[in-house]
Amino acid sequence: MSGQRRQFLPDIQLALQNLGSRKLRSLLTMLGMIFGVGAVVSMLSIGAGAQQQVLAFIEQLGVRNLIVEARDISDTDELLKLRKTSPGLSFKDLRVIRANMDSVTASTPRKRMTPTSILPKTRSETPTVYGIEPAFQEIAGLKLAAGRFFSAEDNEQRSPVCILGDGAKANLFPQKAAVGESVKIQEQWFRIIGVLGSRLTTQSDVSGLKPQDTNNLIYMPINTMVYRVEDNRSYLKDEIDGVYLQLDRRADVGVAADMVRGILNASHRNAADYSLVVPAELLAEQKRTQRIFEMVMVAIASISLLVGGIGIMNIMLASILERTHEIGVRRAVGARQKDVLRQFLVEATLISFVGGLLGIACGFGLSRLVALMAGWSTIVTLHSILLAFLVSVSVGLLFGIYPAAKAARLDPVEALRHDP
């Protein structure tokens, strides 16, 4: 090992000397590698930032959960036609699921509404109100920042209590603590007993889930909502608009999802008036999409690396022509073909190595600039840095082989005749 080190050190020193004597040419040769590596790192960082937010949101939904969403139909004629076939999502559907699925460890219906009047007046968008059962806290992984969550007793007694999401609290009570205060929703007063911590949200659709600010929400017991604030004027509406199910750790999520579909299709007569969101399947699909995206981005950015490799080959061939006499002298004093081969391979690799390092710095800077200018989330991962760097060094090595082999094959006598 020490012998190999002694062989390579002089070659590295000579390569640095040769590249340093032609600084501008060396820098221009490295530009292809710099831009290629910078493109790989920055594009992967943009993709990783976008994907991480979606993946984290899906994980927040719960990989052991199933979510049933009633289909939102605004056209009255279409809704009338649908109700002739299906009664819509109802408490009965949830009771049947609970009775027939032993793998369900926790469940809750959900009723959602946007109030037409609310006090204190909101500073921005009006919070959405969720009517749920206490089990929702465990199913959705809600964390309290202050106060308590409502209990089963609160739900049974239809207590006028509610809990604010982090965004709703900032919206209604920006300057003071909200717990103990009251909020008026649809002419009914509710006492605030808790405030939740901040939750992740997404601005894009996630397979069956509408984009919604999950922090700008007000939660109350579903019996309270039905009794105190529900608008019963439209008999066409679904009795409930969502169902959340949490499965046992040993349960097969795919099998459980098929059972839920079977139960709902039977009661809804295959009306397709609901969607079933399976976060575990979404997570797996999103990760596959991320891998494909990364491969495509690397393939596109690698074109720049290919151009950089061609530039290295070109400059090395020109360097051989300029240093033909030097090669002849080295061969004359005892250098073997493999010594010449190694010398030029070291130079080609050194160009790509330095270009790769500069490209990483360039890519990191570009990703920060995009995050600053566009407001996007970008993440420079160790994976993207190593991938871009290894590819750049490999390209330099690969495109340096032919010039190095050509230099090694030069006839010493003919090389010495060449003008220095």
Helices marked H in 245-278 — which ranges?
A: 253-268
- The two tokens of residue 99 are 């009775």
Cis upstream peptide for 420 (omega within 30°) = no
d(CA 356, CA 33): 6
Strands 128-132 and 161-164 turn out to be unpaired
Specify whether the CB–CB gap between 54 and 206 falls below 8 A: yes
Integer angstrom CA distances of residue 272 from 72, 73, 329: 12, 12, 83
Specify whether the CB–CB gap between 274 and 71 falls below 8 A: yes
Residue 295 CB-density burial (10 A; 0-12 exposed, 13-18 middle, 19+ buried) = exposed
Q: Where are the domains of the chain?
A: 2-57+285-417, 72-272
Specify whether the CB–CB gap between 349 and 325 falls below 8 A: no
- 384 three-state secondary structure: helix
- Phi first, then psi: give them for residue 226, nearest 5 degrees: -60, -40
Instruction: Print pLDDT tens along the chain (420 aa).
Output: 444 455 667 767 776 777 777 777 778 878 878 887 888 788 788 777 777 777 777 777 788 899 999 888 777 788 888 888 888 899 999 999 999 999 999 999 999 988 988 999 888 889 999 999 999 999 999 999 999 999 999 999 999 999 999 999 999 998 889 999 999 998 899 999 999 998 877 655 555 566 678 899 999 999 999 888 876 545 667 789 899 999 998 888 889 999 999 999 999 988 888 899 888 887 788 778 777 877 777 777 677 777 777 878 888 787 777 777 777 777 777 777 777 777 778 888 888 888 888 888 888 888 888 878 876 777 887 877 887 778 778 887 888 888 778 777 777 666 666 555
- The two tokens of residue 93 are 């559907």
To which H or E segment does residue 69 belong? Answer: strand 65-70
CA atoms in the 13 A half-sphere facing the CB of 305: 29
d(CA 345, CA 14): 12
**Tell me, what amino acid is at 164?**
L
d(CA 61, CA 51): 16
Residue 20 CB-density burial (10 A; 0-12 exposed, 13-18 middle, 19+ buried) = exposed
